[in-house]
Amino acid sequence: MFNNDNGAPRQMVQGNWTCSDCGKEITELPFQPSGDRPVHCKECWAKKRSEGRSNFQNRAPRQMVQGNWACSECGKEITELPFEPKGDRPVLCKDCWRAKRPARF
Ligand SMILES: [Zn+2]
Ligand SMILES: [Zn+2]
């Protein structure tokens, strides 16, 4: 029978590697690294994981375009937009944009 790791602590592999990110010495890993794969220390590994997760959850903030427009609905001044508006397209302020959108998000 295979020993599936049902919450049991993983067998650590002892050795001597160098973190490919920060160059720190690594003396144990939770897996046997294959020769051509980069190896990361615990800190870099955790950093990479948390970065990946946060990117996945709240995506990268959109680049805002700074400028000076008037809302085509209410005439309010708009100083930034999440996109570069085309000359012939009406520009809406956040409130009007939200109002025009279908309520169910
Ligand atoms: Zn590292
Ligand atoms: Zn408006």
Between 21 and 105, name the one with better pLDDT. Answer: 21
- pLDDT tens, position by position, 48-98: 888 876 655 555 667 889 999 999 999 999 999 888 888 778 899 989 988
> Can you give the residue ranges of every domain in the chain?
13-58, 65-100
Q: pLDDT class for 40, splitting at 50, 70, 90?
A: very high
Distance 95 CA to ligand 2 centre (A): 6
pLDDT at 2: 55
Per-residue pLDDT tens digits for 13-24: 999 999 999 999
Report the separation in Å between the CA atom of 13 and the middle of ligand 1, taken as the mean of its atom positions. 17
Burial 37-56 (b: 16+ CB within 10 A, else e): eebbbeebbeeeeeeeeeee
